[in-house]
Amino acid sequence: MKDLFEKIYKDKGPLGKWASQAEGYFVFPKLEGAISNRMKFQGKDVITWSINDYLGLANHPEVRKVDAEAAAEYGSAYPMGARMMSGHTDLHEKLQNELASFVSKEAAYLLNFGYQGMVSTIDALVAKDDIIVYDVDAHACIIDGVRLHMGKRFTYKHNDIVSLEKNLERATKMAEQTGGGILVISEGVFGMRGEQGRLKEIVALKKKFNFRLFVDDAHGFGTLGATGAGAGEEQGVQDDIDVYFATFAKSLASTGAFIAGDQEIIDYLKYNLRSQMFAKSLQMQLVVGALKRLEMLKTMPELKNKLWENVNALQSGLKERGFDIGTTQSCVTPVYLKGSIPEAMALVRDLRENYGIFCSIVVYPVIPKGLILLRLIPTATHTLEDVSETLDAFDAIRDRLENGTYKRLSAALIAAMGE
């Protein structure tokens, strides 16, 4: 018999094997200072493109004032207990009602965390006889929720409606045998590529197939649609989304999440979501803070307007300079380059140390080998000067990548890793 930990000692995983070279700088970095367009990294000022604070609310003075007042009034513990037992309040209900109204649904229910809530919602929606059909590029929280499912599940090619239709045909045949139903899961905005899920085309398939649609709109909520109600509003199909999910961790710059849908569906979920039934209620200071943030989202359209001014300036500037930003249809701005993981490390170090640009780096196994993805998240706090400096810096690092500078700089690292 093997020692359970033997595999851990032998194989740290595709990212873990780089820990000694990467930790504290490329992964688990420590940004310091007030959350904004410019922060400090290892004592140096950097333009930050890695913060999902789309509307610039994280450090907004009105938000900080309400957060501080709520903390002073309620502390960090109230209410104690799970919602079902002792953790329910009028303000929790108020926030739910306002969220439901904002996203044009009958009802909503608060979740403590987006990841945890997504996993638990999928678990509650399906039984062993049901079939799940989901986008192959779905977020990890969706994949983990699907893993809990004891029935069949199929993936369809990313945003490929033909592939979805083929898998719905397979799922329909299987559901006829099991007597179950079908749940289709897509994202409103895919967080790495920035592409919107093809919700309109997915909804159109309801005329041919009998399924329910669950949409994770973490990156669309607050950024897309005329009012900011998300990708469903943007595409004109919000009413056809059966269960709508969004998190507070992006546009609302806080902790928590919610699901929304028809009253009867939400009533069922709130009595069957294990992650909420057996977990402490969302703290009151976060509930009060979310109410303030939602009010600002609804009454201050200038925040979203400024966000999109920066998005358009950054994305158009990158395209004009010949960078590949894929087919993003959102604020998420990916820049695709070709190179190895060691080259990516050298490139990012150059960006941070010599150009004062801090953005996230994504490499294999999240994306295919040989590709480097630099992921930029514009916010309402960024300026056109930030955009201009970043574009110039990207011109420089691309030249160094193409002329082999980073390959030479990374040679020692490759040798040390025995690659």
Give me the CATH number covering residue 193: 3.40.640.10
pLDDT at 9: 85
Structural domain of residue 322, as residue ranges?
Answer: 5-54+301-417
Are 18 and 66 within one domain?
Answer: no
Looking at the structure, tell me whether residues 363 and 334 fall in a common domain. Answer: yes
What integer pLDDT is reported at residue 416 of this predicted model?
A: 54
Provide the CATH number for the domain around residue 393.
Answer: 3.90.1150.10
Whether the CA torsion 306, 309, 314, 315 is positive or negative: it is positive
| Domains identified in the chain, total number | 2
Residue 357, SS3 per DSSP: strand
Q: Do residues 291 and 330 share a domain?
A: no
For β-strands 182-187 and 212-216, DSSP reports them as parallel
What percent of the chain shows pLDDT beyond 70? 98
Q: How many residues does the chain have?
A: 419
19 vs 261, more confident = 261
The number of beta carbons lying within 10 Å of the beta carbon of residue 338 is 11
Question: Do 37 and 80 share a domain, yes or no?
Answer: no
Residues 35 and 130 grouped into a single domain: no
> pLDDT band for position 410 (50/70/90)?
confident
pTM: 0.93
75-134 per-position pLDDT tens digit:
999 999 988 899 999 999 999 999 999 999 999 999 999 999 999 999 999 999 999 999
What's the pLDDT tens digit per position in 149-167? 999 999 999 999 999 999 9
Same domain flag for 19 and 119: no
* pLDDT class of 350 with cuts at 50, 70, 90: very high
Quote the CA–CA distance of 282 and 280 in Å, as a whole number.
Answer: 7
pLDDT value for 26:
84
Predicted pLDDT at 158: 95
Query: Which of residues 269, 299, 329 is at a domain's end?
Result: 299
378 and 327 co-located in one domain: yes
Specify whether 351 is located in the same domain as 401.
yes
| % of residues, the chain, pLDDT over 90 | 82
| End position of a domain, from candidates 299, 319, 344 | 299
More confident of the two residues 414 and 323? 323
Residue 102 and residue 235 in one domain: yes
Q: Which amino acid is at 38?
A: R
Do 315 and 382 meet the contact criterion of CB atoms below 8 Å apart? no
Least confidently predicted of 205-209, 331-335, 414-418: 414-418
Banded pLDDT at 368 (limits 50, 70, 90): confident
Q: Does residue 307 share a domain with residue 295?
A: no
Spatial separation of the C-alpha atoms in residues 221 and 231, rounded to whole Å: 7
Residue type for position 66: V
- How high does pLDDT run on average in the chain? 93
Q: Phi first, then psi: what are they for 263, rounded to 5°?
A: -55, -45
Nearest Cα to 289, choosing from 5, 116, 91, 44? 91
Please tell me the predicted confidence (pLDDT) of residue 415.
Answer: 62
The answer on pLDDT for 25 being more than 90 is: no
